[in-house]
Amino acid sequence: MKKLIVANFKMNQNPSETKQYLTKFVAGFNGNRADVVICPSFVSLPVATFLASGSLVRLGAQNVCDEEEGSYTGEVSAQMLKDLGVEYVIIGHSDRRNKFKESDRLINKKIKTALKNGLKCIVCVGESLADRNTGKTFDVIRHQIEECVKGLYENELESVIIAYEPIWAIGTGQNASVRDVENAAKVIRKVIYESYSEKASRDIQVLYGGSLNEKNVGALLNCSGIDGGLFGKISLNVNQFLDIANNLK
């Protein structure tokens, strides 16, 4: 099966830069080795959806409001994203958990609202360096997943993708090892198995993210139990990201 490759631009690239990026990416992407989801900022999504329309490139948002609509100044609803042609949304990225103090409970509510509105959720989980150093990695992942999927029906998991993103590996240039990633994928699937079924644990898509680059991508995305990757920094370089997406082994 083709790998799923997700680009998280974070708070980078103006709409005019995203326009240039998407124009080049859409023209150069062959779709032979991977499916691609690009997640620019909210303000770049209109131009991005316009340029990606009819192409192989899918689009995602980096966040969504947990509420459906109403008096939530400054927020963006799932319905608005759907209306724009956005198909995916990243929920629970460690930037949001840590810098914006998003709780597991809020993340669970965002997932439910996004699913209700037909969006696919890329849900991030992962331990901090302190958790890792004190041997709590698997407990942290287990807890985050249990809280994130709380109250979801098994069929809704078809639209949920779990991204294992150890916080100490994000933006640090220090990626997790093959062993770390395989062990994490095992725990993720085990939790889904215990909460749902063998089929659900097999079918759920699991990604790895954290300092992925052109050198480590082959080994890390071919880890057992891993279906793709979530890319930050390197995805901002259109040539490098195209190269990865087109030539993934």
CA dihedral 241, 83, 158, 41 (to 10 degrees): 30
Phi, psi of 94 (to 5 degrees): -65, -25
Q: Give me the count of residues in the chain.
A: 249
Contact 18, 47 (CB under 8 A): yes
233 binds ligand PGA (CB under 6 A): yes
* Integer CA distances (angstroms), 12 to 46, 71, 165, 172, in order: 16, 28, 19, 17
212 binds ligand PGA (CB under 6 A): yes
Near ligand PGA by CB under 6 A: residue from 52, 232, 242, 244: 232
Using the contact rule CB under 6 A, the part of the chain among 55-63, 148-156, 179-187, 206-214 near ligand PGA is 206-214
The pattern of x and - marking residues 1 through 40 that bind ligand PGA according to CB under 6 A reads: -------x--------------------------------
Phi, psi of 227 (to 5 degrees): -105, 0
Near ligand PGA by CB under 6 A: residue from 15, 28, 46, 171: 171
143 belongs to the catalytic site? no
- Minimum Å gap between C-beta 198 and ligand PGA is 29
The angle subtended at Cα 203 by Cα 202 and Cα 204, nearest 5°, is 100
- Minimum Å gap between C-beta 25 and ligand PGA is 17
162 binds ligand PGA (CB under 6 A): no
209 binds ligand PGA (CB under 6 A): yes
Picking from 85, 126, 90, 84, the residue whose alpha carbon sits closest to that of residue 110 is 90
List residues binding ligand PGA (CB under 6 A). 8, 165, 170-171, 209-212, 230-233
Active site residues: 93, 165
